Structure 1
Amino acid sequence: MDTTRQGAAVNARGIGVEGPRGWAFRGVDVCADPGSLIAVQGPSGSGRTCLLLALAGRMRITEGHATVAGFPLPKRMGTVRGRTALAHVPGVADLEPALTVGEHLKEQALLGRRLKNSLGGSLPWGRRHKDATRARVHAALAAAGLDPDTLPKGLRTAVRDLERLEALRLSIALAVMHGPQLLAVDDVDLKLSAAERDLAWQLLRDLAQAGTTVVAVGSDAPADALIVRTSSAGTRSTGPADAPGTAGAHGTGPDTDRAATRQTTHPNHTHKEAAADAFAETGRA
């Protein structure tokens, strides 16, 4: 994992995504420095996954203005996709239940090699490359807090035999292997116990503190996260405890109130539809 790349700054003003079934979300403001932990919260059907995909360059915004790592969306979606990674997004970035942990890691390493070659890089299949790949895999596992020795069959453990938190850690390890500037994670704390939720959010906080900007959908974000809410009552981003003057925070006021009145959601815009829209826009991530 490349630990030298700085995280991506995220700036969005009044962004929204409209599809054939109506608005997925609308009126979203985000202002986050590199290395921020951004938590997307809101009821099911309020466009949380679509917002996640939009900020990662996988879904085209249809109103408003946004930049990620300094690149404008939707104009530079391809560039943003090259600097971001997805984890744990149903229908878009799934683990294959029949494959083992080791097979997933090997596949991701091969994908990274293909990407570098397509960009004109050189990765010879010699001992030096194998050592570099092994180091990259170990670094990604360490960053995600996944120790293969604790798994039932080590790297030969099938995904279907992983606990939910272990599967989340594997998905994150695969996503961070090639050093993205922004990591987008869906349903961080879905069906986890209270203790597991704390561990999951601590993992994301650690990644952010190490420099990677993290955008995550979940309900129990830590108090120091930048909160972006999607709901029928409006969409706004807040700093820790809505503290005035916090970097990247938006308080209430005329502009925020106007943005809130624009917020609409479509109750039938589900995970599957978000995935379908992402496929239509960019292909499988």
Structure 2
Amino acid sequence: MNTTRQGAAVNARGIGVEGPRGWAFRGVDIAAEPGTLIAVQGPSGSGRTCLLLALTGRMRITEGEAEIAGFPLPKRMGSVRARTAIAHVPGVADLEPALTVGEHLKEQALLGHRFQGLGASLPWSKRNKEATRARIDAALAAVRLDPATLPKGLRTAVRDLERIEALRLSVALGAMHGPQLLAVDDVDLKLTGAERDQAWQLLRDLTREGTTVVAAGSDAPADALTVRTRQTDTGAAAPTPLQDDTTEEEAAHAFAETGRA
């Protein structure tokens, strides 16, 4: 079993997720080595977001078999969640428009202290501050987000970021604690051609450092492993738990299954 913090191998055979309103996706096969860039493509409503949540242990698969980093799904969903992270997923991993870049980064950095034996340190202690600063600097460097290029540096509010900058911040937050697998949704949504290239290059760089990346988007690079979702036999996939027309009861059930980590 792979228990290190290197990339996760992904193996899935005929997996699918069925909910109260039908199949979100089904019949997906994946065989990927650690450090692979996996591009999830398919028409709107074909279950791309649900697939990302399923592969990170945040949504229970109801058909087929899967192993992430050696842990079987759905039996070991908790173990998979602990070794994976999500970024840029609407309704699950959103940025708060009113908060600043620095506030997002500091909050996420502090969340990881308990895993590094720093939980007992006072928040204002020198050791804690140094660990937080180092974690933030490493995350910014990994996604090539230079605070000096932002209007107000780390004090820039999220609502004032360009789309590509917001994506970089989201990925930095997701990758900050060294997940074996990072899932990123809507990678190139509403980006220019040049920005799309930057977005995919950002994810490719993460895989070169060893992280396995699963990303939903269009115009995936040729060197990515492409996985396609398709609409179900009923003509359209069941709406994901994150879509606006989902009932409160369905949303509550979905979040109970997925969690928010």
Q: TM-score, normalised by structure 1?
A: 0.83
* 1: CA distance, partners of 2:50 / 2:251: 9
State how far apart, in whole Å, the 1-side matches of 2:143 and 2:221 are.
18
Deviations 1:222-252 (A, max 9, x none): 000000001138xxxxxxxxxxxxxxxxxxx
2:118–2:128 contact (8 Å) kept in structure 1: no
Return closer, same or farther for 1:73/1:265 CA change in 2, 3 Å cut-off. farther
Query: Counterpart of 1:238?
Result: none
Residue pair 1:54, 1:60 contacting (<8 A) in 2 also = yes
1:125-164 aligned at under 5 Å gives the runs 125=122, 126-164=125-163
Q: In structure 2, do the counterparts of structure 1 residues 82 and 162 end up closer, same or farther at CA, with 3 Å as the change threshold?
A: same
2:237 matches 1:266: yes
Deviations 1:1-60 (A, max 9, x none): xxx821000000010000000000001100000000000000000000000100011000
Q: Distance in 1 between matches of 2:167 and 2:241?
A: 21
Q: How does 1:39-188 map to 2 (within 5 A)?
A: 39-114=39-114, 116=115, 121-123=117-119, 124-125=121-122, 126-188=125-187
Aligned to 2:202: 203
Distance in 2 separating the partners of 1:270 and 1:44: 14
Cα RMSD (Å)? 2.0
Once the two structures are superposed, residues 157-179 of structure 1 have per-residue CA deviations (whole angstroms, 9 ceiling, x without a partner) of 00000000000000011111110
- Cα pair distance change 1:283/1:203, threshold 3 Å: same
Whether 1:280 aligns to 2:256 is: yes
Question: What do residues 49-105 of structure 1 show as CA deviations (whole Å, max 9, x unaligned)?
Answer: 000100011000001000000000011101110111110000000000000001101
Q: Distance in 1 between matches of 2:231 and 2:213?
A: 25
Displacement of 1:266 in angstroms is: 2.0
SS at match of 2:178: coil
Match of 2:226?
Answer: 227
Q: Distance in 1 between matches of 2:171 and 2:252?
A: 22
- Which residue is 1:32 aligned to? 32
- Write out the 4+ residue segments of structure 1 that deviate beyond 6 Å after TM superposition: none
C-alpha distance in 2, partners of 1:9/1:277?
29
Report the CA distance shift for 1:25/1:264 in structure 2 as closer, same or farther (over 3 A): farther
Q: 1:51 to 1:263 in 2, by over 3 A?
A: farther
The 2-side partners of 1:154 and 1:91 are apart by 26
Change (3 A) 1:9 1:265: farther
Q: Percent identity?
A: 78
CA distance in structure 2 between the partners assigned to 1:91 and 1:231 by the alignment: 22
Gap change, CA 1:270 and 1:59, over 3 Å in 2: closer
Report how far residue 131 of structure 1 moved. 1.4
Q: If the length of structure 2 is used for normalisation, what is the TM-score?
A: 0.90
1: distance between equivalents of 2:252 and 2:166?
23
Contact 2:21 2:238 in 1 (8 A): no
User: 2:193 corresponds to which residue?
Assistant: 194
CA distance in 2, matches of 1:264, 1:131: 54
Structure 2: stretches of 5+ with no match in the other structure:
none
Gaps of at least 5 residues in structure 1 are 234-261
Q: How many residues align?
A: 250
